[in-house]
Amino acid sequence: MLTLYYAPNTASLAPHIALEQAGADYRLERVDFEAAQQRSPDYLAVNPKGRVPSLVTDRGVLTETPAILLYLAQRYPGADMAPLDDPFELARVQAFNVFLCSTVHVAHAHKHRGTRWVAATDTAALEAMTRNVPQTMTAAFELIERTMIGEPWACGEQFGIADMYLFTMTRWLASDKVELARFPKVAAHCERMASVPAVQRVMPHHPPRD
């Protein structure tokens, strides 16, 4: 059985959807960020990075959302969550997810986790990073809207792991003070995702951000 360590309002929503879509045999372990459980010795023994998601498999622990999503797509090929038989199309999916991980998630994290990049004592830099979040998130989603997103799904005809990851980050826009209505294609994608049964089944574990 697989075990997903997750926290609400984090990137762990994406692999949670993938597990449900795949019909996987899995269990959930919630990591309480308010209690700083991600820095506890017990959790650091699972994931020394002190972050979520973490997926415990029969061969070890996987971290980083794009890696976990690709693993689940490959482990459950019958769920058809990625174009596994087409190297170019699979690379396109991975390019989408890597952009979300390396650019969008980083822009969002500047709001609350600026100390990953600057000293905690540099309050001016931290405040500037926080102020810039609406601008950087807007720029990232403008690029997605203009040049990346397909129809009806993120990478075109096939629903899959890029949709799960994009949906996860789209849900962060309101808390980042960015209007989803600015991005009609992304907004339509978010609406379609909300009707996916696997998404509906996992959402009680992932309430919206305040």
- Widest pairwise Cα distance in the chain: 51
Domain extents in the chain:
2-79, 87-196
Predicted confidence (pLDDT) at residue 192 exceeds the cutoff of 90: yes
pLDDT confidence bin for 118, thresholds 50/70/90 = low
Mean pLDDT of the chain: 94
Whether 2-79 and 87-196 share one fold: the answer is no
Long-range own/partner contacts, residues 86-95 (CB < 8 A, 24 or more apart): 89/155, 92/155, 93/155, 93/160, 93/161, 93/162, 94/66, 94/70
Task: Record the pTM.
Answer: 0.94
Give the domain 87-196 fold: Glutathione S-transferase Yfyf (Class Pi); Chain A, domain 2 (1.20.1050)
- Just give the CATH number of 2-79: 3.40.30.10
Q: What is the pLDDT of residue 127?
A: 77
Q: What is the pLDDT of residue 114?
A: 57
| 152-181 mean pLDDT | 97
Share of the chain above pLDDT 90, in %: 85
Of 53 and 9, the one with more pLDDT: 53
* C-beta separation of 95 from 66 below 8 A: no
**Token couple for 119:** 């000293």
Question: Considering only 26-35, 53-62, 107-116, 118-127, which range has the smallest mean pLDDT?
Answer: 118-127
Predicted confidence (pLDDT) at residue 138 exceeds the cutoff of 90: yes
